[in-house]
Structure 1
Amino acid sequence: MFDIKSFYEAKSVEDAVAALSADPDSEVISGGTDVLIRVREGKDAGKGLVSIHNIPELKGVEMDADGTIIIKPATSFSHITNHPMIQKHLNMLGLAVDQVGGPQVRNTATIGGNICNGATSADSASTMCALNAVVVLEGPEGVREIPVTEFYTGPGRTVRKQNEVCTAFRIAREDYEGWEGCYIKYGKRKAMEIATLGCAVRVKLSEDKTVIEDVRLAYGVAAPTPVRCYEAEAALRGKMVRDASIYDLFAETALSQVNPRTSWRASREFRLQLIKELARRGLKESILLAGGNIDA
């Protein structure tokens, strides 16, 4: 039995915003795989829930005329992984969210909930940071757009206000076209596991595949929030793909922008080792996916 004060099924985004505004102690629910756990554990017990799960305009993946890919927040992980547009342009994201929980969770859990939950361990979070995704929020004061890299404010906290609804995630064409990358999740077991550390790497190579024109590196569980390592990215721009020193440079520079903690899953020291090792592995795999030849 869940201790829920009330449950309201919103008919539209505007209806959801109005319901949330009418009850300042209420919160949004979609798939419920995070919210209902918090209710059961007593953290959010006694609250009113406003469901956006059955609002049609909050589901699906589409592309704007300018090539921007729009992922709606109530889209389940399974739908994201299997969507042709994701497989063609954002396969890294599809593979990342396919590592969340088990099949039942992935059929129910939504990307909006995974991001808005604010957890640094969310598999979609570091991936969306590496994709330069933009979060679209709608509330009583209108619509606002926030880069996902600026969305998190602390453990389990984001800039989303209580009466705002996430309506979309936008990924611009220049943030996926010509890029390749991978997400590496480390856990104590291979499935049904929360990340001990998550690492997302993306690269954009020169036309002849010999130079790293651009690179992105993002982590989950390497800091209180998902984090981009901008200094590590800057250190590799213009470097030759066959330069064997780029892997250590990438990994060592990343350490200056992370702040992992010790928890029951892993010590700070072990996470620091993972941060270096996954940066190396992720960079190598991304270069190979982009068509680079790393053999000297």
Structure 2
Amino acid sequence: MYDIEKIYQATSVKDAINHLVADPKSIIIAGGSDVLISIRHGKLAGCSLVSIYGLEELKGITLAEDGSIKIGAITSFSHITKNEIIQKYIPVLGEAVNDIGGPQLRNIGTIGGNISNGVTSADSASTLFALNAKLQIEGPTGVRVIPISEYYVGPGKVSLKNGELLTAIYITKENYENFTGNYIKYAMRNAMDIATLGCSVTCKLSASKDTIYDVHLAFGVAGPIPMRCPKAEEAIKGMKISDEMFNIFAEVAKSEVSPRSSWRASKDFRLHLVCELSKRALKESIRKSGGIING
């Protein structure tokens, strides 16, 4: 049994906002894969819920005329992985969310819920950081759009104000065109586990396919919130593909992160993973772009 005081099924985004304003302590629920667990564990016992899971306006993936890709906040992980637009333009995101839990969770869990719980281990988060995702937030005062880097304000906390909810995620054309990406999740088990460290890389090569034109590197569990490594990115832009380039990329990334020790892994082991996974993810991204890697 779940200790829930009441649950309201919103009929629209505006209706959901009105109920959140009327009852500031109420909590949004979509797929429920995170919220229901928290209730079961007593963390949200006795809460009131506002369900947005039935709102079709918050589901689906579309491609705009300017090339921007819009992902509805309650689009399930399974739909993202299988979607033709995702597979054609940003397959790395489909691959990342396919690492989440098992088939049942991927069918019910939503990408908006995955990033809105604020945890650094969210598998979609690091890839959305690497893609420079923008988030559309709606509330009683209107609509605002912010970069995902501004959404996370602390461990387990996001910048939603009273009455606000995340409604859509946008990936602009400039952040995926001619980029290829790779996400690597290191966990204690091959499936049904939280990431010990997550690493996502997207890169764009020069026309000659032997030089890094641009690169984005992002991590989950390398700090209290998901994070980019801008110094590592800048350090190898314009460099020829080589062992030296990979080593520089990894060492600079190591200097930017701040992982902690936990029962899953020590800080030192996570720092080792930062170096190793950044190189592996970049190498795979380069291969997908048709680049040549010696050795």
Question: TM-score with structure 2 length normalisation?
Answer: 0.99
Aligned partner letter, 1:253: V
- Once the two structures are TM-superposed, the CA of residue 64 in structure 1 deviates from its matched residue by 1.1
Aligned partner letter, 1:116: S
Aligned partner letter, 2:268: E
- Who is 1:15 aligned against? 15
Asked if 1:266 is matched to 2:265, the reply is: yes
Q: Is the 8 A contact 1:222 1:260 kept in 2?
A: yes
- 1:247-283, CA deviations, whole angstroms, 9 ceiling, x for partnerless residues? 1100000012111011111111110100110011111
- Taking the aligned partners of 1:149 and 1:290, their CA distance within structure 2 comes to 26
Please list every run of 5 or more consecutive structure 1 residues that lacks an aligned counterpart in the other structure: none
- Taking the aligned partners of 1:26 and 1:222, their CA distance within structure 2 comes to 31
Matches within 5 A, 1:187-266: 187-241=187-241, 243-266=242-265
Aligned partner letter, 1:246: M
Asked if 1:169 is matched to 2:208, the reply is: no
- Taking the aligned partners of 1:163 and 1:4, their CA distance within structure 2 comes to 20
Q: Is the 8 A contact 1:27 1:162 kept in 2?
A: no
Aligned partner letter, 1:190: N
- Who is 1:84 aligned against? 84
Equivalent residue of 1:245, what SS?
A: helix
Equivalent residue of 1:270, what SS?
A: helix
Equivalent residue of 1:87, what SS?
A: helix
In the alignment of these two chains, the number of paired residues is: 295
Q: Percent identity?
A: 55
- Taking the aligned partners of 1:18 and 1:191, their CA distance within structure 2 comes to 39
Question: TM-score with structure 1 length normalisation?
Answer: 0.98
- 1:24-55, CA deviations, whole angstroms, 9 ceiling, x for partnerless residues? 11011000000011111111111110011001
Equivalent residue of 1:253, what SS?
A: helix
- Who is 1:152 aligned against? 152
- Taking the aligned partners of 1:28 and 1:64, their CA distance within structure 2 comes to 28
Aligned partner letter, 1:235: A
Please list every run of 5 or more consecutive structure 2 residues that lacks an aligned counterpart in the other structure: none
- Who is 2:127 aligned against? 127
- Once the two structures are TM-superposed, the CA of residue 81 in structure 1 deviates from its matched residue by 0.3
Aligned partner letter, 1:286: S
Equivalent residue of 2:178, what SS?
A: coil
Query: RMSD over aligned Cα, in angstroms?
Result: 0.8
Equivalent residue of 2:243, what SS?
A: coil
- Taking the aligned partners of 2:290 and 2:118, their CA distance within structure 1 comes to 35
- Once the two structures are TM-superposed, the CA of residue 221 in structure 1 deviates from its matched residue by 0.2
Equivalent residue of 1:263, what SS?
A: coil
- 1:2-39, CA deviations, whole angstroms, 9 ceiling, x for partnerless residues? 11111000000000000111001101100000001111
Matches within 5 A, 1:71-110: 71-110=71-110
Aligned partner letter, 1:150: E
- Who is 2:29 aligned against? 29
Equivalent residue of 2:217, what SS?
A: strand
- Once the two structures are TM-superposed, the CA of residue 162 in structure 1 deviates from its matched residue by 3.8
Aligned partner letter, 1:88: K
- Taking the aligned partners of 1:128 and 1:57, their CA distance within structure 2 comes to 21
